[in-house]
Amino acid sequence: MRSDKTLRSPLPLKIAAGAGLLFMHVPILLIFIYAFTTEDKTYQWPPPGYTLKWLGVTWNRPDVWEALNLSVRVAAISTLVALVLGTLCAAAVSRTRFFGREAISLIVILPIALPGIITGIALRSAFNIAEIPFSFWTIVLGHATFCVVVVYNNALARFRRTSASLIEASMDLGANGFQTFRYVILPNIGTALLAGGMLAFALSFDEVIVTTFTAGQQATLPIWMLEELVRPRQRPVTNVVAMVVFIVTFLPILAAYYLTRGGDQVAGHGK
């Protein structure tokens, strides 16, 4: 590739690409504007005026806090489970070749490759058959299952770039397997795990399709929003919640991007 050569792009391509990007971002921008509108009965555009009032109103809503609290707890525990399971799986698949290796990749990816409604209804009917009552833990069960894949992908990519000779060197120098894991492997895959964990958190935090099937009476923040979407009752509060949900998922994604950027500097790369 001649990347040093200055390439001039044709104008129509520039316009089409720019329009495409605008199409992807303007709707999100609108969410931020609507959070400050003074109009509380309709979705009127342009907003008749701007106010910070709804931030305060939302702040004092116990149901929103409850939903937020539940979402954060579910996301945190699902992320932890996914971190453990995803890393184990990635370690096994990256280092060795064995019968059924491809099948394992498939099983890990399946929960996210199949439409969410299938995962959801399958879990729900399984809970019914096993007579497990819906609770906090049934939500976690569902979320952790589809979060494994993002941790797995991130960890696998990093494992493949980490040189095996580092591990051999550590063992040769007298470290046992656990010390090698603690002092050599973990520092190498740390940022990848952090990035995977953050993506898993974001994924779980705003998941709604599987959650509608695995939650009983409890409402996570997305479920709360879904009810508002179907039957709008308190538009201004929903506008603010939408903005908050966006920010809460946006920050981990940004962080994950910066953590996995420039992976070329990983130790042992290009031995």
Which 41-60 residues touch another protein, going by CB under 8 A? 42-46
* Tokens found for residue 237: 């509060």
State the nearest-atom distance from the C-beta of 263 to another protein, in Å.
14
Pick the piece of the chain touching another protein (CB under 8 A) from 38-46, 49-57, 62-70, 72-80: 38-46
- How crowded is residue 261: how many other Cβ atoms within 10 Å of its Cβ? 10
Rounded to a whole number of angstroms, the minimum distance from the CB of residue 28 to another protein is 6
Q: Rule CB under 8 A: say whether 226 interacts with another protein.
A: yes
- Looking at the Cβ atoms of 161 and 242, the one nearer to another protein is 242
**Encoded tokens for 91:** 């370690």
CA 193/CA 249 separation, integer angstroms: 17
Residue 106 C-beta: closest distance to another protein, Å: 10
Taking the least distance from each CB to another protein, the nearer of 52 and 103 is 103
From 55-63, 72-80, 188-196, 254-262, span contacting another protein (CB under 8 A): 254-262
6 contacts: CB under 8 Å, gap ≥ 6? none
- For residues 252 and 254, give the distance between their C-alpha atoms in angstroms, rounded to a whole number: 5
| DSSP code for 158 | H
* Residue 182 interacting with another protein (CB under 8 A): no
Q: Does residue 145 bind another protein (CB under 8 A)?
A: yes
**Cα-based torsion angle of the residue sequence 157, 163, 166, 171 in order, rounded to the nearest 10 degrees:** 80
77 binding another protein? (CB under 8 A): no
Q: Which residue, 120, 117, 162, 170, is CA-closest to 141?
A: 120
* 153 forms part of the interface with another protein (CB under 8 A): no
* Contact range with another protein by CB under 8 A, out of 14-22, 58-66, 157-165, 183-191: 14-22
Distance between CA atoms of 232 and 247, rounded to whole angstroms? Answer: 22
How much is the CA Rg of the chain, to the nearest whole Å?
Answer: 23
249 counts as binding another protein under rule CB under 8 A: yes
The three-state secondary structure class of 37 is strand
- 125 lies in the binding site for another protein (CB under 8 A): yes
Angle value at C-alpha 39, between 36 and 45, nearest 5 degrees? 85
- Binding part of the chain for another protein, among 62-70, 72-80, 158-166, 203-211 by CB under 8 A, reads 203-211
User: In this chain, which of 246, 263, 266, 268 binds another protein, going by CB under 8 A?
Assistant: 246
